[in-house]
Amino acid sequence: MSNLERKSVLKVINLLSEAGHSEQVVELTDTARSALDASKALGVPVGAIVKTLIFMIQNDEGVTPIVCLISGDMLCDTSQISQVVNIDGKVKRPDADTVKDITGYSIGGVSPIGLPEDIGIIMDSALARFDKIWSAAGHTHCVFPATFDQIHEMTNAVVSDDISIEPKE
C-alpha cells in the first residue's frame, strides 16, 4: 500500500481538496520525520519546513493542548506559549501516544490541518520568509506545499513574532 492511501494521509488530501488547494501531497522516498530530513528530501531550505509541535498547558483547570507551527530553522520559545494564547500554566511536551490521541496523527506526520477544532494553534511569523512552505501530510513520508497565508487560513492560527527563537550556535 502506498503511503498516500493511508487513512491519515487521505484525510489531509481531502481537506486540501475541500479548501480548494491546488497543490498535491508528495510522497517522499526518504522520511520527513524531522525538518532537516524533509528539507534534504525536498531540496528546500530547512526554514521552509513547518514543524508541527504539540504542547500541553497544565493548570488548576486541567490540561489544554496547543499546537505550534514553527519554522524548521527555529526553536519554539516555550516560555511564550502561555502568553500568546493567554492561558496560565506549566507548558509540557506530551508523549507520542498522547500526541496521537490528541491529533489523530503520529509524531513526524502531524499535519497542521485536520486537527480537532478545540485545539489552539500558534503560527510562527518566521515562516512568512518563504514563498512556499512544506508541512507533514499525515505520515512521515508525506508532505504538502502551501503558502504562509494558505496555512494560516486553513488552520485559523494565531500568528506570533514571539513564538520562535534562533538556535544558539
DSSP the chain: --GGGSHHHHHHHHHHHHTT--SPPEE-SS--SSHHHHHHHHTS-GGGBEEEEEEEEEETTEEEEEEEEEETTSEE-GGGHHHHHT--SEEEPPPHHHHHHHHSS-TT---SSS--TTSEEEEEGGGGGSSSEEEEEEETTEEEEE-HHHHHHHHTPEEESSSEEPPP-
Q: What pLDDT does 149 receive?
A: 97
Q: What pLDDT does 104 receive?
A: 94
Q: Is residue 55 part of a domain?
A: yes
Task: Supply the range of the domain harboring residue 7.
Answer: 3-163
What is the pLDDT tens value at each position of the chain, 169 positions in all? 788 898 999 999 999 999 998 889 999 988 877 899 899 999 999 999 999 999 999 999 999 999 999 999 999 999 999 999 999 999 999 999 999 999 999 999 999 999 999 999 999 999 999 999 999 999 999 999 999 999 999 999 999 999 999 998 7
Q: What is the pLDDT of residues 93-127, one digit of tens each?
A: 999 999 999 999 999 999 999 999 999 999 999 99
Q: Is-contact 126 68, C-beta < 8 A?
A: no
Across the chain, mean pLDDT equals: 94
Q: Is residue 154 part of a domain?
A: yes
Q: Is residue 155 part of a domain?
A: yes
Phi, psi of 64 (to 5 degrees): -120, 120
Could you tell me whether strands 142-146 and 26-27 are parallel, antiparallel, or unpaired per DSSP bridges?
A: antiparallel
Number of domains making up the chain: 1
Q: Is residue 14 part of a domain?
A: yes
Q: Is residue 169 part of a domain?
A: no
Q: Is residue 148 part of a domain?
A: yes
Q: What pLDDT does 85 receive?
A: 95
Q: Is residue 109 part of a domain?
A: yes
Tell whether pTM > 0.75: yes
Which CATH number characterizes residue 129's domain? 3.90.960.10
Q: Is residue 33 part of a domain?
A: yes
